[in-house]
Structure 1
Amino acid sequence: MNSNDHLAQNAGTHGALAGLRVIDMTGVVLGPYATQILGDYGADVIKIEPPSGDIMRHAGPMKHPGMGHIFINANRNKRSVVLDLKKPEQREQLLALCKTADVLVYNIRPAAMARLGLSFDTLHAVNPRLVVCGAYGYSEGGPYSDWPAYDDLIQGAVGMPWLMTQSGSTEPRYAPTTFADRVTGLNMVHAVMAAIIARYRTGVGQHVEVPMFECLLQFVLGDHLCGETWQPSLGNMGYARLLAVNRKPYATQDGHICALMYNDAHWQAFLKLVGVPDLFQTDTRFATHAERLKNIDALYGVVGQHMRKRTTAEWMKDLTTHDIPVMPMMKLDDLLTDPHLTATQGWLDVPHPFEGMLRQLRPPVRMSGTPTGVWRPAPRLGEHTEEVLSELSV
């Protein structure tokens, strides 16, 4: 890994969002992931935590209490302020911060915000320019609106575990990552930015709703609505290529490889490479693009039979030579020494004043004029309470 030259003395002052202040009342993964991205772009993100801290502080492994790995990797470029919002004087401190802010984000249900005396109407009265963004399970106004929501539940609600069974899994399974949280977090980022742009035109903030269920549903049904796109229906739901049982990394003589013959040029090169250049002419299942899609699982099965005849290294060389899309199947450990990430400075060594040296991924977006960066590592609980509150009296 390279030494980190991205830490700045003046945090984020050259980023695209320099000067934008975000009050972050979120916890766990969804909201913190979104606000970390805003911080990567240079926003001043003030993370409001209860005295017990964000619950993800306590998910190990960790070197010191309250600094779990998921928390560290979702809360860089933020300042931590501890406020007990059930205490009137500390609620007033939050409202004072809102007067100085451009955005407030939260990920509890609106009714809970109202119980804290922090409804949109209250916040809007304090600062009419404030963009208030709530990310929670389900849109307001439906039968699910008051239901609690977590990543696993939302994955189930949009059919992802069922889709796993349709594509070969022996039982329903969740994707092994916080998929719903992070997809919704990305929606939260662009929703906040859209509202900020609107405020430049109108001078007034607004409330923005970013529901997990509806966000992930857009993500899934963009592929799988299929025949139900039309009324009346043209056919079943479910995109055949993505559901093919044989759509998976191909076994080779000594491992697995990820290859995709997507267009006619790819297929012609591959079939010639494996010695069956006339397959599409001799097998009616594959004669046209439409027939190949209809029989895509069988076609992937044919590819799999040929892939077993060579080693992974041989396939990497041969497929690359013929300009056929291919990648090795990585294990997590492989990514630590990946040559592309090394060449592009994808890994950073980030010094933390209490945790020691941290391994961090560089923000993936690069901007030539307003750079992204790791301006400060994830904060300890309440590390910046005195600093931030003292700014109110300046």
Structure 2
Amino acid sequence: MNVHSTKALAGIRVLDLTSVIMGPVCTQILADYGAQVVKVEPPEGDVMRHAGAKIAPQMGAMFLHANEGKRSVVLDLKKEGDLVTLQKMLPSFDVLIHNVRPQAMRRLGLDEGSVRALHPSILYVELTGYAQGGPYEQRAAFDDIIQAQVGLADLFARQSGGEPAYVPTLVADRVTGLTAAHATLAALYRRRETGEGETVRISMFETMAALVLGDHLGGASFEPSQGPMGYSRLLTRHRRPYRTLDGHIAVVVYNDKHWRSFFEAIGQSDAFEADPRFQTAAVRAENYDFIYGRLAEILAMRTTFEWLELLEAADIPCSPVNKVEDLLGDPQLRATGFFDERDVRDGRRVRRIASRFRSPTAQSSRGIPAPVLGQDTADLVPRL
């Protein structure tokens, strides 16, 4: 049997009008599941083609890692002829995905109603910064802005007593892209059952607000409120990599077994038995600052290597505090084939990030490199 034909989305065609990170993360997942994703780019290309290190023009690292397995066509939708061409292409696709602001899509005649008139059963997937119907709906959204708006940046300040900070990765874009991918999969499943198209709308602000509040809604989960917002275990100032004699270590001493094993490992079982604040989850929940503060004091007494040996032997979750450079030689990633390194154009090598999943029906498309700008235009765009 042809391996490709067993992929879950084999035969599904996706018209990809997304750019930057949020939309391309979604459509790359669909490509991984076997969909043919046709990325429509303006003549200057997706702006992310210029982001990050590169060995060829318009093939920056950020673009490469969000657009593998796709095909690229160039259409200038500001020109009537190219817009008409796109409209003629629509009936041959199952899904249209865009992250263009809705008012711009209306001006182009590519809003939901106009597209549905051309292809009633198409799935119309709209990714925006903010959900429609609210006062922010016409605003442009960027990852940093969303992190600030949903309280994520402030949580760093609340925990440390310092300044607000951003997570140094595009977490809002990527989480929203993942959310959009599984929403699209659900819509495809429904269409297979009913034959009906539908519109799927996903917004960064609401997606990330749900992510943050899932942990931190706290007492405001109830009316009247039953206490402050914020999950105290995540907000204690001691929830951070712990200092050791010669560096730092990540340790999670979490459940009853972990705490008992930790005190046994350091030869202080009597101290554990004598202090109820360590012994049960209910009591620990009232004393996170104390118990993790005490943990910090103890961990400062030995080297990182000594702690790793001791804690691993006691089956307590721990890790060195890696730099991102350390991941290149990580034995787990190497053993599982996480990186795919191969020769590409001009004899140069590219390191690709391998599949996020392992399943016979969801084999990664990562063997297919990200497309050169417009490389598939002649093959995929109909001549008028």
**TM-score for both structures, normalised by structure 1:** 0.93
Judge which range, 354-363 or 276-285, deviates more: 276-285
Which residue of 1 is the match for residue 168 of structure 2? 176
Residues 65 and 169 of structure 1: is their aligned pair in 2 closer, same or farther, counting only changes over 3 Å? farther
Which residue of 1 is the match for residue 247 of structure 2? 255
* Secondary structure class of the residue paired with 2:73: strand
Residues 215 and 277 of structure 1: is their aligned pair in 2 closer, same or farther, counting only changes over 3 Å? same
Match of 2:39 among 47, 64, 72: 47
Match of 1:347 among 339, 351, 354: 339
Between the aligned partners of 1:184 and 1:114, the Cα distance in structure 2 is: 23
Query: Is residue 60–residue 69 contact of structure 1 (8 Å, CA) maintained in 2?
Result: yes
Pairwise CA distance, 1:11: 10
Q: How does 1:209-224 map to 2 (within 5 A)?
A: 209-224=201-216
Which residue of 2 is the match for residue 107 of structure 1? 99
Match of 1:308 among 295, 300, 312: 300
Residues 318 and 133 of structure 1: is their aligned pair in 2 closer, same or farther, counting only changes over 3 Å? same
Residues 350 and 18 of structure 1: is their aligned pair in 2 closer, same or farther, counting only changes over 3 Å? farther
* Secondary structure class of the residue paired with 1:176: coil
Query: Is residue 15–residue 372 contact of structure 1 (8 Å, CA) maintained in 2?
Result: no
Residues 12 and 112 of structure 1: is their aligned pair in 2 closer, same or farther, counting only changes over 3 Å? farther
Pairwise CA distance, 1:289: 2.5
* Alpha-carbon displacement from aligned partner over 1:301-341 (angstroms, at most 9, x marks no partner): 11111112222222222111111111221111110000001
Which residue of 1 is the match for residue 363 of structure 2? 371
Pairwise CA distance, 1:140: 0.3
Pairwise CA distance, 1:288: 4.1
Query: Is residue 32–residue 362 contact of structure 2 (8 Å, CA) maintained in 1?
Result: no
Residues 314 and 99 of structure 1: is their aligned pair in 2 closer, same or farther, counting only changes over 3 Å? same
* Secondary structure class of the residue paired with 1:367: coil
* Alpha-carbon displacement from aligned partner over 1:38-84 (angstroms, at most 9, x marks no partner): 11121101000011111111123222221111011111111110001
Between the aligned partners of 1:303 and 1:161, the Cα distance in structure 2 is: 26
1:97 and 2:89 aligned: yes
Between the aligned partners of 1:41 and 1:356, the Cα distance in structure 2 is: 28
Which residue of 1 is the match for residue 16 of structure 2? 24
Match of 2:218 among 226, 248, 255: 226
- Uncovered stretches (5+) of structure 2, i.e. residues with no partner: none
Report the identity percentage: 45
* Secondary structure class of the residue paired with 2:96: strand
Residues 177 and 315 of structure 1: is their aligned pair in 2 closer, same or farther, counting only changes over 3 Å? same
* Secondary structure class of the residue paired with 1:248: coil
Query: Is residue 245–residue 300 contact of structure 2 (8 Å, CA) maintained in 1?
Result: yes
Residues 358 and 246 of structure 1: is their aligned pair in 2 closer, same or farther, counting only changes over 3 Å? same
Q: How does 1:14-163 map to 2 (within 5 A)?
A: 14-163=6-155
Query: Is residue 63–residue 355 contact of structure 1 (8 Å, CA) maintained in 2?
Result: no
* Secondary structure class of the residue paired with 1:278: helix
Pairwise CA distance, 1:123: 0.9
Pairwise CA distance, 1:367: 0.3
Between the aligned partners of 1:228 and 1:82, the Cα distance in structure 2 is: 49
Residues 354 and 46 of structure 1: is their aligned pair in 2 closer, same or farther, counting only changes over 3 Å? farther
Pairwise CA distance, 1:345: 0.6
Between the aligned partners of 1:316 and 1:200, the Cα distance in structure 2 is: 51
RMSD (Å), alpha carbons: 1.8
Q: How does 1:323-342 map to 2 (within 5 A)?
A: 323-342=315-334
* Secondary structure class of the residue paired with 2:269: coil
Judge which range, 46-55 or 85-94, deviates more: 85-94
| Number of residue-to-residue matches in the alignment | 383
Query: Is residue 64–residue 355 contact of structure 1 (8 Å, CA) maintained in 2?
Result: no
Judge which range, 380-389 or 344-353, deviates more: 344-353
Query: Is residue 32–residue 69 contact of structure 2 (8 Å, CA) maintained in 1?
Result: yes
Query: Is residue 261–residue 325 contact of structure 1 (8 Å, CA) maintained in 2?
Result: yes
Residues 11 and 355 of structure 1: is their aligned pair in 2 closer, same or farther, counting only changes over 3 Å? farther
Match of 1:274 among 244, 266, 269: 266
Which residue of 2 is the match for residue 164 of structure 1? 156
* Code of the aligned partner of 2:230: G
Query: Is residue 27–residue 37 contact of structure 2 (8 Å, CA) maintained in 1?
Result: yes
Match of 2:380 among 358, 364, 388: 388
Which residue of 2 is the match for residue 239 of structure 1? 231
Which residue of 2 is the match for residue 195 of structure 1? 187
**TM-score for both structures, normalised by structure 2:** 0.95
Pairwise CA distance, 1:361: 1.1
* Secondary structure class of the residue paired with 1:98: helix
Judge which range, 20-29 or 194-203, deviates more: 194-203
Query: Is residue 12–residue 375 contact of structure 1 (8 Å, CA) maintained in 2?
Result: no
* Secondary structure class of the residue paired with 1:167: helix
* Alpha-carbon displacement from aligned partner over 1:217-269 (angstroms, at most 9, x marks no partner): 11110000011111111111000000110101112222221111111001000
